[in-house]
Chain A
C-alpha cells in the first residue's frame, strides 16, 4: 500500500464551482501535512499547511481528519488560474519520512 494516495483526476469543473480533493495516508504516526500546487512543467509551490484545526486562506480550505487518515483541500469559486496539479505531502515522525502524493489534476473550464 502506498504511503500517500490521491485520485489523479482529472477534475474538470466550470468557473465558479466548488471542488474538493482528498488525500489518504497510511501511517497514523504522520505528523505534518501540506498541499502543494504544480503548474505544467514547473516546480511544486507550497499552497498551504494543514493544521489539526483546519485552516483557510481565501478561497482555499484545508482540513485534516486523523481518525480516517486523510487530508482535504476545498477550492471555492474556482478560477481559470486554479488549473494545476495539486500534490499532498505527508511527513511522518523519524528520519526524513516525507511522502508526496502523485497529484490530482484540476482543469477549470470557462
Chain B
C-alpha cells in the first residue's frame, strides 16, 4: 500500500517549545517538500529536498529546520523562533524535480 503519511494529524504545543512533524513515503520518490497553508491562503513552500542528505530553503524557511537522512523520511521541526507556527502543514513527494507532487494528509499544528 504505497503512499505518503504524516503524523500526528493534530498537534498542540505551548509557545516556546520545538515540535517535530513526521513525513514518510514509500513511493521511492527522490524529492520531498514541506508546505504551510493558512486559512483561506495558498500553499507556501518551507523546505524541499531533491535527494538524500541535501535540502534547500523555500520561501518561508525562517523558524523551521529539516533533515533528510533517509530517502523515505523528511521530518520538519518547528522551532520556537517561528513567530506564527499555528497552521496546516503539508508534506509532499515527487519522483523528481519537475514532476507532479503527491501530498500526505497533513498535520494541523496549534500553538498556544
A residues with CB within 8 A of B:
31-32, 34, 41-46, 49, 87, 89, 91, 93, 95-96, 98, 100-103
Report the bound CA distance from A77 to B97 in whole Å.
35
Chain A residues contacting B43 (CB-CB under 8 Å) are 44, 87, 100
**B102 interface neighbour in A32, A41, A46, Cβ under 8 Å:** A46
Chain B, interface size category, equals 20 to 34
What 12 new A-B contacts, CB under 8 Å, besides A32-B98, A42-B105, A87-B42?
Answer: A32-B100, A41-B108, A43-B90, A43-B105, A43-B106, A46-B102, A87-B43, A93-B98, A96-B48, A96-B56, A100-B43, A103-B42
* B6 to A, closest residue via Cβ: A43
Contacts of A45 in B (CB 8 A): 103
Establish whether residues A95 and B105, one from each chain, have CB atoms under 8 Å apart when the complex forms: no
A sample of 13 cross-chain residue pairs with beta-carbon separation below 8 angstroms, ordered by A number, consists of A32-B99, A41-B88, A41-B108, A42-B106, A43-B90, A43-B103, A43-B104, A46-B101, A46-B102, A49-B100, A89-B101, A95-B97, A100-B43
User: Using Cβ atoms and an 8 Å threshold, which residues of chain A touch B101?
Assistant: 46, 89, 98
Distance (whole angstroms) from the CB of A48 to the closest CB of chain B: 10
